[in-house]
Chains A and B, each alone.
Chain A
Amino acid sequence: MEKHFEQIDYFAYHSPFRKYSAMSKFIFTMTLLLLCLYFNNIAISCYIIVTMLLINVLKNNIKLYDYIVMLSIPFVFVFFGCIAIAIEIHFENHIIIYVTKQTVLKSICVMARTFGAVSILYFFTLSTPIYQMVFVFQKLHIPKILTELMYITYRYLFILIEIQHQIKIAAISRLGYCDIKTSLKTFSSCIANLFILSLKKAQKHYQAMEARCYTGELLFLQEKQYYNKTTTIKATLYILSILLLKIVLRGQAL
């Protein structure tokens, strides 16, 4: 899990799309997401899955293998959820479980839509580092306390993960995970220790912030963001292509 966590963050910081304005990326993502959810059409979802794969792999420089691994993360949830949609239960004398053509089609449709939406989300997360997202939230007038908390929390994540990693190595080298009973105990002690250390760190950090004249407002230097006309036109064309597909498919497919 920790690997994924650092991976997505790493990709976002090295993305060629990073320099473009975060707000336009956000609007692009939300429009696509709404279209994908609203149309709820297998053909459109598949079109989005394929095109997003191409954009992410070719334009965003993500290795195909990494991208496929990332796409497989939601698989378990989607799989279970779609089984539940596909089966029907009949109570009467006996319990009969059956599937119909309609329900199977519906579950495939939901599966395609979910993967389409996840692909769109990946485009956003793999091209926008967290600080840019928080900038978007600030623009959307989300209360300052929340955006400030987000900034600080994001920074603390790395500190805590580092500490947790060290504690874990120490525990493993002392055979802390040799059997199930010991590992439960070790796991709990690790978390308890992490809690104590995190509180200590939090106090120290506040002192450090105060020493640097923190008066209740965090200010960050914003990186200059580019607004590229060609890219905007391309993005609009992409959205139009989906609308066109919808018109072509009118009355067909699901």
Chain B
Amino acid sequence: MKKLMFFIITFSATFGILSNVYAMHIMEGYLAPSHCIVWSIISLPFLFWGFYRIQKLLEKDRKNITLLAMAAAFIFVISSLKIPSVTGSCSHMTGTALGAILFGASPVAVLGIIVLLFQAILLAHGGLTTLGANVFSMAIAGPFLSYAVYKILKKCHTNTKVSIFIAAFLGDFFTYCITSIQLAFAYPSLEGGIVTSIFKFLGVFAPTQLPLAVIEGILTVIIMIILQTYALPEMKLIGFEREV
């Protein structure tokens, strides 16, 4: 048994270092049809809300359509960039925390479907049937938590850098937890049921996801500092009116 455990740990560690880790997209075909439907239904209210908000934005000014499309394209592009890292692995940002802080949580939910759909179609990450589950973990849970944490910490007058780091880190971490929970619901263990299964999935994906969350936090902080220094007029344009 010790040998087996050693084997699994080494194997996942090497994979974590060497592999091309693309966040936590649940692949096409991994979930049973019933789970796909349930997660899509859970995502629907958030999407309606986001859709309503976007409609309001467009009614206010038709010009926002190019801005929104650019925002979606921006999130897609940053999520396809390789993060520089010490070990030579090639991981990618999720970009959702940055998107949520910049554009607000509910529009990002709608932009998230477009981004995830394009990722499934153009990059083969994720899938059509698992779109609902992926949208819930990556475009709803992560951004909403990031946004809420960021707002609360700002109310408490925490240092801006610290609050951005915590928001981005927690957003990433939460996405990873939700995906593990989704997978655990789909495949509960024979012994111990769903709870044990959640720990199994959390454990298996931890070596790749935890460092990524920390790096994403650091990167988001640096990006926000640069943006607040050089791009205040542009940021006001998208409704980001904060003190520097």
Nearest B residue to A137 via CB reads B117
Taking the closest CB of chain A, its distance from the CB of B209, in whole angstroms, is 10
Give the interface segment out of B23-31, B138-146, B147-155, B167-175. B23-31
| Count of chain B residues near A, Cβ 8 A | 91
Taking the closest CB of chain A, its distance from the CB of B20, in whole angstroms, is 7
Docked CA distance A83–B201 (Å): 9
| A196 x B191 contact (CB < 8 A) | no
Nearest A residue to B121 via CB reads A125
Q: Say whether A46 faces chain B, with CB atoms less than 8 Å apart.
A: no
Which chain A residues in 123-178 approach chain B with CB under 8 Å?
124-125, 130, 133, 143, 145-146, 148-150, 152-154, 156-157, 159-161, 164, 177
Docked CA distance A137–B58 (Å): 21
Interface of A is mostly: helix
| Partner among B54, B66, B124, B201 whose Cβ is within 8 Å of the Cβ of A152 | B66
| Partner among B58, B196, B222, B238 whose Cβ is within 8 Å of the Cβ of A145 | B58
| B4 x A97 contact (CB < 8 A) | yes
| B72 x A194 contact (CB < 8 A) | no
Docked CA distance A97–B5 (Å): 7
Which chain A residues in 4-35 approach chain B with CB under 8 Å?
4-5, 8-9, 29-30, 33-34
| B30 x A110 contact (CB < 8 A) | yes
Q: Say whether A251 faces chain B, with CB atoms less than 8 Å apart.
A: no
| Partner among A30, A83, A189, A194 whose Cβ is within 8 Å of the Cβ of B8 | A83
Given A37-B29, A160-B74, A96:B121 Cβ within 8 A: no
| B124 x A80 contact (CB < 8 A) | no
Which chain A residues in 161-212 approach chain B with CB under 8 Å?
161, 164, 177, 180, 183-189, 191-192, 194-196, 198-203, 205-206, 209
Taking the closest CB of chain B, its distance from the CB of A55, in whole angstroms, is 17
Nearest B residue to A85 via CB reads B187
Nearest B residue to A30 via CB reads B128
Which chain A residues in 72-110 approach chain B with CB under 8 Å?
73-74, 76-81, 83-85, 87-91, 96-100, 102-103, 106, 110
| A149 x B68 contact (CB < 8 A) | yes
Q: Say whether A62 faces chain B, with CB atoms less than 8 Å apart.
A: no
Given A89-B200, A156-B69, A157-B118, A37:B92 Cβ within 8 A: no
| B192 x A157 contact (CB < 8 A) | no
| B121 x A88 contact (CB < 8 A) | no
Q: Which residues of chain A have C-beta atoms less than 8 A from B66's C-beta?
A: 152, 202-203, 205-206, 209
| A83 x B12 contact (CB < 8 A) | yes
Docked CA distance A155–B76 (Å): 12
| B124 x A118 contact (CB < 8 A) | yes
Docked CA distance A154–B70 (Å): 10
| B230 x A118 contact (CB < 8 A) | no
Q: Say whether B84 faces chain A, with CB atoms less than 8 Å apart.
A: yes
Which chain B residues in 111-142 approach chain A with CB under 8 Å?
111, 113-114, 117-118, 120-125, 127-129
Chain A interface residue number, banded? 35 or more
Q: Say whether A2 faces chain B, with CB atoms less than 8 Å apart.
A: yes
| B28 x A121 contact (CB < 8 A) | yes
| B29 x A76 contact (CB < 8 A) | no
Nearest B residue to A208 via CB reads B66
Q: Which residues of chain B have C-beta atoms less than 8 A from A189's C-beta?
A: 222, 226
Nearest A residue to B68 via CB reads A149
Docked CA distance A117–B36 (Å): 14
Q: Say whether A51 faces chain B, with CB atoms less than 8 Å apart.
A: no
Taking the closest CB of chain A, its distance from the CB of B223, in whole angstroms, is 5
Q: Say whether A248 faces chain B, with CB atoms less than 8 Å apart.
A: no
Q: Say whether B83 faces chain A, with CB atoms less than 8 Å apart.
A: yes
Q: Which residues of chain B have C-beta atoms less than 8 A from A153's C-beta?
A: 69, 72-73, 76, 114, 118
Q: Which residues of chain A have C-beta atoms less than 8 A from B12's C-beta?
A: 80, 83
Q: Mark B18-41, 1 if CB is under 8 A from A, else 0.
A: 011110111111101100100000
Q: Which residues of chain A have C-beta atoms less than 8 A from B162's C-beta?
A: none
In the A-B complex, the 7 residue pairs with the smallest Cβ-Cβ separation, listed nearest first, are A117-B29, A183-B84, A188-B222, A152-B69, A156-B73, A192-B226, A202-B70
9 A–B contacts, CB within 8 A, in A order: A8-B123, A40-B32, A73-B123, A81-B27, A117-B27, A118-B127, A177-B84, A184-B218, A187-B219
